[in-house]
Amino acid sequence: MTPLVEAAPAKLNLALHVRGRAADGYHEIETIFAFTEGGDMLCGIAADGIGLEIEGPFGAALAGESNNLVLRAARLLAERAGIAAGAALTLAKNLPVASGLGGGSADAAATLRLLNRLWNLNWPKQELAKLGESLGADVPACVWSHTLFGMGRGDQFGTLMDGHLHQKPVLLVNPGVAVSTAAVFQGWDGVDRGPLQPELSLPALRAARNDLEASAIRAAPEIAMVLERLRVQPGAELVRMSGSGATCFALFESDAKRDTAAQAIAGERPDWWLMATRLK
């Protein structure tokens, strides 16, 4: 039986404005989600039960987890669909864990999309995204897996003006440290610095922010070093931290400039993780 394959693209926050803290403790945000051509990869075939094998360069970080987001997504979909179908799933974990790239959320979203096909459910993406809300705030956006303007906890979506960043070269860099999303949000200074313009253009993005950068840098000072190295690379058009960190990214004017920057940074810091890719 030929396995079904589903990509789990890395999620980037091209900008992230924190507008306030809600009564339930969650933060109200405005963000521009984007997704890259690179990321994790999931495959699956029909089986009697639901099982998961994890491989890839960061697979060991998830070893022994019996209730990770992939398994939770699979069990939730089977329960809500009212079926007893199973699947043997294999996840190639190519993205660092706890890195601000939405890896776990992207994996859960890929699970919902793959099993929707494998089990012939034919649910529209709207239903899968709604189901994903209970798995995590980023899961609905990752179900759609294309550029979106996010509001609320990041699970509500508004209109985004197109700025033609499709296939924009991007370099992702992580200094090899994991940061706690909860701790970084807790460290936010509580100052609302204003709304995010829902426009996908370089001028608008340059005027935007990631309001979690300061808190993340306090937790992991290496993030400031990554941002500094990216900012001095020729051809870098936008440099920012993604999500709650620690991964940072730079959009480049060409593949060649991106690749030259990747080579330079890898030579300086062979201990850092890099991915040269493009925006979807």
Strand partners, 52: 89
How distant, in Å, are the alpha carbons of 26, 84, 193, 278 from that of 189? 14, 47, 11, 33
Residue type for 264, please? A
DSSP state of 196: P
Catalytic-residue membership of 138: yes
280: annotated active-site residue:
no
Q: Which of 40, 93, 107, 138 is catalytic?
A: 138
Using an 8 Å Cβ cutoff, are 13 and 31 in contact? yes
Task: Cite the DSSP H helix spans in 33-96.
Answer: 69-81
Instruction: Identify whether the C-beta of residue 128 lies closer than 8 Å to the C-beta of residue 116.
Output: yes
Rg of the chain over all Cα atoms, to the nearest angstrom = 18
Per the CB < 8 A criterion, the answer to whether 277 and 168 are in contact is no
Sign of the dihedral through C-alpha 220, 146, 77, 120: negative
Which amino acid appears at position 253 of this protein?
E
Per-residue DSSP letter, 279: B
Strands (DSSP E) contained in 70-137 are 86-92
The SS3 of residue 216 is helix
Give the active site residues: 11, 138
